[in-house]
Structure formats: structure tokens, C-alpha cells
Amino acid sequence: MSKKKFELNRAGVAELLKGQEIQDLLAGKATEIQSRCGDGYEQDVYVGKTRANAMVQATTYQAKRDNLKNNTILKAVR
């Protein structure tokens, strides 16, 4: 059995996780989740320190109340 050594290119992985392709993929998923939630929810994609991130949040009072009572965002992620 041969022993092969694998070395990860950390700079390349970091560049990949922050890249435009990943941001587009996350934006698509966040848009799907937002559409399942209904009115009063917004989505955003931003690049953090180590990777791109997407979020969906309730912005109106009615949406915040709905999310508190029914876990709307969590159920839409499934």
C-alpha cells in the first residue's frame, strides 16, 4: 500500500470560497428560501473574513411575528 501525501492549497481554497461562483450559488439558494417564506423577508449575500455568506431575514413586523410563531425561515430552509 503506497502512502500518498496530499497538501491542500489554503490560498486557493480561500479564493474559491469567496469567489463569484459561490456567491451566485448562495444567492440562488437564498432567493429560493425567501420565495418560500413569503412577503416581508429579504435575502443578502456578503463576503466575510473566510467565505461568502447568505442570509434571509424578516424585515417587517408581520414577518418577524410570523417567524417567531412558526419558525418560517427554518422551515423554508428544509
Find the distance separating the first CA and the last CA of the chain, reported in whole Å. 42
Helix (H, G, I), strand (E, B) or coil at 76: helix
User: Mean pLDDT across the stretch 9-14?
Assistant: 92
Q: What is the pTM of this model?
A: 0.81
pLDDT reported for residue 2: 79
User: Mean pLDDT across the stretch 3-18?
Assistant: 91
Locate 78 and state its grid cell. 428544509
Per-residue pLDDT of 18-52, as tens digits, reads: 999 999 999 999 999 999 999 999 999 999 999 99
Per-residue pLDDT of 49-77, as tens digits, reads: 999 999 999 999 999 999 999 999 999 99
> Exposure of 7 by Cβ count < 10 A (0-12 exposed, 13-18 middle, 19+ buried)?
exposed
On the CB side of 33, CA atoms within 13 Å amount to 24
